[in-house]
Each structure stands twice: as C-alpha cells, then as structure tokens.
Structure 1
C-alpha cells in the first residue's frame, strides 16, 4: 500500500518511490487487474445476453454425419452425379445423401422439422430464408453453413466477339472491386426480411393476436447468480493463497538469515 500511495503522491514519507522494482510491481498489478476485469466482464455479458445454440454442422464433413438426407432442386441431378463419382469420400457420402427434385421452400421446411438439410446456391438460400423464414423479431430458425457446396454463378449473355465486351468486363470488374455488388446484395436481403416482418405483423394485427415467440426458443434475460460471479471469488482465493505462500516463505528466509547471524 505504501508503494501504491507513493506512486499516487500520498505516501507516508511524502515522496515518490524511486525503486524501479516497485514501479514494475504496481504497473503489472494494474495491467493484470484491467485485463482480467475487462475479459471477465465481456464473458459475463456474453453469457447473460447471447442465446445458447446447440452444436450445428458448418462444414461438409459435419453435414454428412449429422443429417439423414440432403435435398436439392431438380437442377441438382448433375451435382449429385458429380459428387457420387468424386474421389473425395466425404463428397461421395454427400452424393449418396442427396435427393433431387425438392424445391427450396419445401426443403427448408423439412430441414426445420426433420433431420435433413437443403443444398443450393448461397445467395438464393439467403434470399429465400429472408423472405420465407424470418421471424417478427428479425431472427430466423434456419442458418446457412460456412462451406460453399453449390457455387453461385451468374453471367450476362452477349454475342460472341461483341465489340463492347472489353468495356463491359471492365465495368463489371470495377463494380465488383468497389464492393457495390455486395452492398446491393445486403440491401436486397434487408429489404426482403423487412417485407416479411411487415407481412407477419399485418397478419397478427388482423387476427388480433399478440406477438409471441414462434417456437419457445426465445427466453427471457437470465438473472445474475452465484455461478456467474464465482470467477472473481476463485481469483480472490487464489491470490490469498499465493500471498500466504509468499509471506510464509519470506518469514522463513528472514528467520534463517537471522539465525545465521
């Protein structure tokens, strides 16, 4: 305390400590306190506010072991054959799981109620989820995995050897590099989700129903319990234990040094 008081200009001797070790000790203690308190506060806020999600498949390897069927629209017959004949065992399993001819709304609905997944282009999936599977609060019970299985390709049909093709290529490249396409895509998804929420609110108002969670997954904010604050208590006990060990060691060393004299 004397060292800390001296650094703050409130020591008993009225002067600042000139020992570099004291400065390093106090600085280390302050940095440790800031880092631990900030990290624990962030973890505590996340634990109390973020909903708990069960483990879910994100990659192709996790998908083939988690679902019983992967549906795809009629155009996916070529992808099924490609995956089945692939040299990769994971994609072979995916090809055997794929069932062709299921449209996206039906496939996503089955994915909600059954142990299934729907495969398709990422952009089309994102738009369909925003349109048809967005709740009133803006959340969705459906998610899209991190791996891209079906590529999302697009092209502009133009005549062969058209004289304006280089100019068109340059314009498309400029738009893509400037991020305008991604911005347009995000705005389009936001508009689709907003329109879906407005429609649901209008239907509820016509039916004179209160807005309630769809499937009971939305839970009230959890209260702070002793389980959430046991971290600082354990840290306090650990600090007291370390301090006691250091104090006993110091007393032992001082006693032995005095006996030697």
Structure 2
C-alpha cells in the first residue's frame, strides 16, 4: 500500500477509538446509573481493542446502545474489508513480484539512477541489439515526421491537413504504426529463427511492470474509508438522538 493509505489507516484508528470511548461512556452511564464508572473500560483498553480489530483479533468490548452498535458494525466491516484487501495484495505481490518500472520518457530517464550515453557510430547499436529483446518506450527519443509534397497553392492542401488532423486525433496513425511494427517483428522472427511470441511482445510495448500486481492506492480503497466515515456519521446522529431522548422524554 502507498503512504496515503497508511496515513488514512492510522487516522481512522485515531478517530474511531475516541468515538468508541465517548459512546461507551454514554451507554454505560445511561444503563448503570451511579455505578457506571466501576464498569466503564478505560481509554487504553478501548484503543487496544479498536486496533486489535484491524489485526483480526477478537475484542472484549460488547456494544450496548444503538449508536454503539452502529459504530462497531461499520468499524468491523471496515477492518474486514481492509484486512482482506491487504492480504490479497500481499499474496499477489509474493506470488508475482513486480519488477522495476521501465523507462518510457526522457524525463524518467533523467530522474533515474541509470548511467546513459550515446554511441558515436551507426552500426554499433545494430551489432549490440540485433540478438536482444529491446523494449520500445512510449516516448520517441528522436522524433521524425512525414509529409506529402504538393504544388504551391494547391487546392487540396487544406483537405489533406484536415484529414491528417482527424486521423491523428482518432489514433489511427498510432494504430497503423503499431501494426507495421508487429508485422515487421514477425517477419524478422521468421528470418532470424526467434520465437514469434517474444518478438511480438517486444513490439507491443508491454512490460511486466505494467501488467504485474499494483500497490493498493486510495482509489482502490476509497469505498472502505467511506464505509468507516458513514458509520461514524450515522453513529453520531443516533448518539444525538439518544441524548435528546434521555434528556427531554424521560
């Protein structure tokens, strides 16, 4: 999990423990009368029981009132979902460990720890990479263009420009270039005797870092935090309703 998820997990424990303590004192005071302090658990006991729920350990606190039960229900659901997601992510990472991310752009290359350079020759790169599986990054290091030569003042120039713009915006040029690369890679595999699958994978710009297990981010766990937040809000509303009922009706 990323740092944001760990921070929110810590904040959820820090926020839920005081809420459980307040509701617990309110319920014990309402149910036990003058002797409520003798049976009321301490804040440290409540905090340890709240933290133990995340570790899938049984708690010794039994909820009494409606607001207390609602808060415990939402907290237990939150702990169940969080532990399940974390266990699944940990098993996936241990089963298929992710590799270091590939360098796709010049900016990533500049911020990386790799030592890079350029060879002052034309045939050495071919001799070096002709028997290697080369990873094609998503950004072109040496961009080149193409065009059609037209007569000066041609009437079809604007139409051709519009057609090129539509093809680029629709992604057709990128698609066709990818198909050409795959086709040339397959033809090269037949000439060199290499495995066709490896060469096709080389031209598809896919890497193990892109297809491997991903760390749990806030985007994946936002529903779990919403469950905990809704439980806190609903228990607070029920707590206010109980307090109003005890003071005004009784």
Q: TM-score, normalised by structure 1?
A: 0.40
More helix by share: 2
